[in-house]
Structure 1
Amino acid sequence: MDTNSFIFLAGILLLISILASSFTVRFGLPLLLVFLGIGMLAGEDGLGRLGFDNPNLAFFVGNLALAVILLDGGMQTKASTFRVALWPSLSLATFGVILTAAAVGGFAAWLLDVKLIYGLLLGATVGSTDAAAVFSLLRNSGVKLNERVGGTLEIESGANDPMAILLVVMLTGVLQSSDSLSVWLFLGQMVQQFAIGGGLGLLGGKLLLLVLRRVPLIEGLYALLIISFGLAVFSGVNLIGGSGFLAVYLVGLTVGNGRIKHEESISQVMDGLAWLSQAGMFLLLGLLVTPSNLLTHGLQALAIATFLIFVARPLAVMLCLLPFGFRWSERFYISWVGLRGAVPIVLALYPVIAGLSNAALLFEITFTVVLISLLLQGSTVPVVARWLKVSVPPAPAPTTRFSLIENDAHHSLELYEFLVQTEGIRIPVSIVQNVPSVTVSTPQLVSLVREQRPIVVNAETVLKLGDRIWMLLHPDDVNDVAQIFSQQASSSFLLQNFFGEFAIRGDASLVDLAKAYGVPLEGLSTDDTASDLLQRKLGKHLVVGDRVRFGNIRLTIRQMHGDQIEIIGLKLQDKQV
C-alpha cells in the first residue's frame, strides 16, 4: 500500500469512527467500542477486507497511545481526591491485580485445560482495569460520582498498569526459559518499578511545571511541550527499569494540579490528542484481530469474562477495600466499573511477540473479554451508579476559565465565564459597584453578554436565562459565585431530594437541631456539632454526598473544603435511609 492510500484509509476510518460516536451516545454505548468495532469491520473478515498482521507495530502504537492517555488522565485528576482515595486505589492497583489474576488464572487453566502458568498469564493479562476506558466513560457518562468512588476508580486505573505489566513480562519470561518463578525476584521487581516510576514521575512533573512557568512559548506549543516531555519521561523510565506508565501519569497529575499559563487552551489540545490516541489505538487493535477466530473459543471466553466480572473482580475489590470503610454499594460499584480495554489487548501481544505456543489462544480470549466488558459494563456505568446511589448532583461551575496572572495562591488573577441558568436574579450590588484592581480580594464584574452583545450593568439590571457573565475572581470564590447564577439548579427537585430542602453550616449545634426537629437530647453535648456527628458515624475521610440519620432528619454533606465540612443539607425523613 502506497503512502497516499494509507493516509486516505486512515483518515476515512477516523472520520467514520468520530461520526459514528455521535450516534452511540443516544444508545449509551461506550465510544471506545465504536472505534474497536470500526477497526474490526475494516479488517480482513469485515467490509474493508484490509489485511493487517503486525503485532509489533500494534504494540508500539498501543504503548505510545497509552502514554498520552495516562498523561492527559493525570492532568484531569484532582490532587484532592488523594485525600480519600490514595490508599484504597493503591491496594486495588497492587493486591487487587494479583488476586484477580490468580482467580481468573486458576479458572481459565481448568476451563481451557492448559498448564496453570498459561492460565495465570491470561489472568495477569486481563487483571488490570483500563485507564482509557475508565477515564473516557466516567467523564462522558453524564453522572458525577462521589469523590471517594470516582477518585478510587481513576487513580486505580492510572496506577495498576505497572503490576499487570510486571506479571505478564515475568510469566512470559518463565515460559520462554522454563525457569521457575521466584517470589523474591517478583517482589524486588515490583518495588523497583513503583519506586523508580513514582520518584521520577513526581520529579519530572515538578521540572516540567518549572519549565512551563519560566519559558515563554507560543500558546499552541505548551501542550506539545507537555506531550514531548511526558513521552521522554515514559520511555526514559522504562529504559532504566521503572514503570513508565506510572511515571507519565504522575507527570500529568503534577502539572494538572499546578498553576500554569493558558491552562484552558492546553486542556483542550490535550483532550484532543488523547482522543486521537484512543481512536487510533482501538482502530489498529480492531484491525489486528480476525473476528472469525474469536468464535472458535467464544463460549470459553464468555465463561472467563463472566467469572472475571461477577466473581474475581468483586472478590478482589471486597477484600482490598475491607480496611477503608467503603459502603457496600460503593464496593459493588467499584467492582462493576472494572473496565477492560486497550491495556489487556496490548498486554496480550507480549506472548504473541515472544512466540509462545498458546499465544493466539490467549490473544483471542483477551480480545473477547474486552468486548464483553465494554459492551456490558461500559454501557451500564450511569444506570448502575444511580441504582447503587453513588452519584451526586453536579455542583454549579463556570463554563470557561482563563488564568491571567499566576504568582501564588494569594495573588492569582483568573477570568471566569458563568452561564445564567434562571430568570429574574440580579448581580449582588457589592459586585456591580466593585472597582477593578490589580489584586482580586472580592469578585469583579468584567462584562455581561446577552445575545452576543455586551450589556451595561448596574444594580437594577435583571439577568435573563442564557446570559453570560464574565468575572475576575480568586479561585477560592468560584463556587460561591457559581451558586448565584445557578439558583434554578440549586432549587431543583433533584438537589432537594438528594441534599434536602434546607442548608446548614457544618458547625451548627446538634442540640439546637434536636430542639427544632423534636430529636431526643439524650447523649448530646452542648459542644456537639452536625459535623461532629457525621465524622463520628462515618469516619475521617468524608466526601460530598455522605449522609447520616439524626432522629427524623437526614443530614447530607453538601460542600467541603479539604477535610472540613462547610455546608450540610437537611431533609425531613419519615423512614430510615
Structure 2
Amino acid sequence: MGTVFLSDLVLLIGSALVVLGTVSSILAARFGAPILLVFLLLGILAGESGPGQIHFSDYWATYMVGSAALAVILFDGGLRMRASTMRGALAPAILLSTVGVTITAGLVALAALPLLGLSPLQSLLVGSIVASTDAAAVLFLVRAQGLRLGRRLGAVIEIESATNDPMAVFLTVALVEILASGAADPGWMLAVGLVQQLALGAAIGVAGGFGLALLLNRLDLPGGLHPALVVAVAVFIYAAAAMVHGSGFLAVYLAGLVLGNRPVRSIATITSFHDTVTWLCQIVMFVMLGLLLSPERMVQYVPPALGIAAFLLLVGRPVAVFLCLWPFGFSLREKVFVSWAGLRGAVSIFLATIPMLAQLPGAEAFFNVAFVVVLVSLILHGWSLVFTARRLKVALAEPMRETRRFEIDLPGQSDHELVGYPVTGGTLAVSSGLLPLWARLVMVVRKGQVLTPEAAGVLRAGDYAYLLAPPQRVHQLDPLFMPEERRKSDAPSGFPFAGEVRIGDVADLYGLIVPEAERGVTIADAFADRSDDRPLPGMRFPVGSAAIEVLAVDEGRVTQAALRFETLGEEGLPWLERAMAWLRKRLGGTIPGAG
C-alpha cells in the first residue's frame, strides 16, 4: 500500500505544479516576467532545498523527458513557420545557427578557460552548452506586450532558434564523446560528425514531413486522433534520426516545416492541440530541470558563472551576430536587437545533463554554470527585451488586437476552412456588405437561429457569420470584421499616398532620411515585408522623424497609407502645405492615391 500511496502523492504534486505554473503564467505575462523563469523557480522551490523537499536527481529521466519535449516544441515551431516568411531571412538565420553558434562557443571557451580552470576542450564544452538561444520565449515576450517584429527580423530570430539547437546538441555530444574516449584527432571527428548529423537529419525530416502529410490526408481517423498521431510521429521522427546518428532536432523541425506548408486535413485542430501540448512540454521540462538544482552545491560556481554570463551576453553573442549578419544589410539597430534577443532557455540546461549522464569528471560544474547563465539570461532579457525593442524601433506598431475568429476543419478535404466571426457594428462586412470572391458565406447565426445566406440577407450587428475560405487567405478576412473604432487610428491627421508610391519619393518630398536600401521599395512592399504579408489598418513603421501608417488594405496588400508627423508643431504646417502644392503642380494637380 505504501507504493500506491507514493504513486498518488507523485501524481498529486506533479499536477499541482502544472496548475501552479499555468496560473502563475497569467501574473508573469501581466508584469512582463519571462514565463519560463516562473516554471523554473517553481521546480527549485519544490526541490530538496525548497519548501517542497522533493529529492530528485534522475538525469536519465530528465534527458528522456527533455528530448521528447524539445522534439515537440521544435516540431511546433516548424509547423507554424510559413515558407513565405523565410524570404531574405533563411541565409542569415542558417549562418547564425551554424557559424554563429560555433563562434559563440569558441569565444565563451576563452572566458571559461581562466574562470573555471578547465582544459581547452572542457572550456569549449561549456561554450557549446550555452551557445543556443530560445527565441520562442523572445517572441512571446515581444508579442505579449503588443509589439510585433518586422517580417525578416522576426523570421531570422525564429529560424535561428529552431536550427541552432541541433548545432549546439551536436557540438555538446561530440565533445562529450571526445572527452570520454580521449580521441587524438578531435577536429576530424567533429567535421565528419557534423556533415553526417546535418545530412541525415535533413533527409529524414523532409521525408518524414511529406510522409506525415500523406498519412493525414489518406487516413480517415476518428475525430480527435489526428493531433495525437502528429505528436507521436514527431517524436518518432526525432528518435529515428537520432538512432542513425543524424540530428533529431533538425529532422523534427524540418518535418514540422514541411507539414505546415502542405494542404493537410484537420490542420486547425492540429495547431490548436499543439498550443496546449507545447505549453505542457515547457512546463514539465522546466519544472524537472528546477528540481535537479541544488542551491548549496551551485553557490561555489556562481562567481565564475556570472563572469561567463556577462561575457556571453556582452561580447560572445554580439560578436557572433555582427559577423554573421554583416553581409546581409541589416541595420545597426537590428543587429543590436538580435544580439540582445539571444535568450537562453531549457536547451542549455538540458545539454548540461549530458556530461552528467556520461559521468565526465567535473560534470557538476557544467550543469551549475549552465543553470546560472540561464537564470541571468531569463531575468535580464525577460524584463528588458520589450523595452529594448521599443527603444531600438525594430517592432512594427500594431495598435489593434487580433480580430476574434473561430476555425473549423471540414472532414474529407483540406482546400478550404470554415471560419466564423462575431459581427459587431461598424465593421466593413456590415457597412459595405461586400465579401471577397474567394470567400463564401455559408450560414449566419442570428438570435439563436441558423439562417442561410439568402434568408439572412445583409449581415447585422450581433450575428455570427460562417464562411468558407482557403486556409492561406483566412487572415485577409480579419479587417472586414474589425470594429470601426479599432480600425481608426488615434494619430494626428496625415498625408495619404497610394500603396505603390516608393518610400524614397515620400522621403525626398518631406526631407526625411531613409536607408538607401529602402528608397526604391514601395509602401505596399514595405508593409508586406514587415508584416508577413498580413498588413492591417493602423500598422506603422518609422521613416526618418515620421511614420507611415496603413489606411486601407485590399486582398492583403496596402492600397493607401498616410504619413504621420508625431511631433510636428503648427510652425511646420506651412512648409508642408507648400510641398503638397509643389507636388500637385509637378503631377498635374493630383497626387496618386491621395484622398
**TM-score > 0.5 by shorter chain:** yes
Which is further off, 552-561 or 153-162? 552-561
Q: Is 1:3 the counterpart of 2:7 in the alignment?
A: yes
Partner of 2:581: none
Contact map agreement 1:21 1:31 (CA 8 A) in 2: yes
2:530 aligned partner, one-letter code:
V
Change (3 A) 1:561 1:193: farther
- Percent of aligned positions that are identical: 33
Q: Is 1:301 the counterpart of 2:305 in the alignment?
A: yes
Contact map agreement 2:551 2:561 (CA 8 A) in 1: yes
Which is further off, 185-194 or 422-431? 422-431
Partner of 1:525: none
The partner residue of 1:400 within 402, 406, 431 is 406
Q: Is 1:256 the counterpart of 2:260 in the alignment?
A: yes
Change (3 A) 1:443 1:391: farther
Partner of 1:527: none
1:294 aligned partner, one-letter code:
M
Change (3 A) 1:367 1:549: closer
The partner residue of 2:480 within 484, 504, 511 is 484
Residue correspondences, number = 544
The partner residue of 1:446 within 443, 447, 470 is 443
1:9-28 matches, within 5 Å, as 9-28=13-32
Distance 1:558 1:151 in 2: 25
1:338-377 matches, within 5 Å, as 338-377=342-381
**1:25-81 C-alpha deviation (Å, 9 max, x unpaired):** 221112111111111001110001111111111111111111111111211222222
Q: Is 1:124 the counterpart of 2:116 in the alignment?
A: no
The partner residue of 2:83 within 76, 79, 84 is 79
Contact map agreement 2:502 2:520 (CA 8 A) in 1: no
Which is further off, 416-425 or 153-162? 416-425
Contact map agreement 1:104 1:123 (CA 8 A) in 2: yes
Partner of 2:461: 463
1:97-496 matches, within 5 Å, as 97-130=101-134, 133-134=137-138, 136-137=140-141, 140-394=144-398, 397=403, 399-404=405-410, 412-420=415-423, 423=426, 427=430, 431=434, 441-444=438-441, 446-447=443-444, 449=446, 457-459=456-458, 463=461, 468-475=464-471, 478-486=474-482, 487-493=484-490
Deviation at 1:84, TM superposition (A): 2.4
Partner of 1:504: 498
Distance 1:104 1:391 in 2: 30
1:319 aligned partner, one-letter code:
L
Partner of 1:40: 44
Contact map agreement 1:447 1:471 (CA 8 A) in 2: no
Change (3 A) 1:327 1:423: same
Tell me the secondary structure at the aligned position of residue 128 of structure 1: coil
**1:145-174 C-alpha deviation (Å, 9 max, x unpaired):** 111111111111111112111211222222
**1:209-229 C-alpha deviation (Å, 9 max, x unpaired):** 011111111121001110111
TM-score by length of 2: 0.82
Change (3 A) 1:12 1:518: closer
Contact map agreement 1:28 1:379 (CA 8 A) in 2: yes
Deviation at 1:131, TM superposition (A): 5.8
Distance 1:406 1:383 in 2: 47
Deviation at 1:471, TM superposition (A): 2.4
2:38 aligned partner, one-letter code:
V
1:399 aligned partner, one-letter code:
R
2:353 aligned partner, one-letter code:
L
Change (3 A) 1:546 1:14: closer
Contact map agreement 2:501 2:522 (CA 8 A) in 1: no
Change (3 A) 1:304 1:211: same
Contact map agreement 1:557 1:565 (CA 8 A) in 2: no
Tell me the secondary structure at the aligned position of residue 521 of structure 2: helix
Distance 2:528 2:425 in 1: 35
Contact map agreement 2:528 2:557 (CA 8 A) in 1: no
Partner of 1:534: 521
Change (3 A) 1:162 1:559: farther
Change (3 A) 1:214 1:347: same
Partner of 2:561: 569
Distance 2:563 2:100 in 1: 38
Contact map agreement 2:503 2:521 (CA 8 A) in 1: no
Change (3 A) 1:360 1:15: same
Contact map agreement 1:69 1:131 (CA 8 A) in 2: no
Deviation at 1:357, TM superposition (A): 1.8
Tell me the secondary structure at the aligned position of residue 417 of structure 1: strand
Change (3 A) 1:47 1:509: closer
1:414 aligned partner, one-letter code:
E
Change (3 A) 1:503 1:231: farther
Distance 1:546 1:90 in 2: 29
Contact map agreement 1:405 1:414 (CA 8 A) in 2: no
TM-score by length of 1: 0.84
Change (3 A) 1:519 1:370: closer
Distance 1:123 1:101 in 2: 4
Deviation at 1:181, TM superposition (A): 4.5
Distance 1:559 1:373 in 2: 41
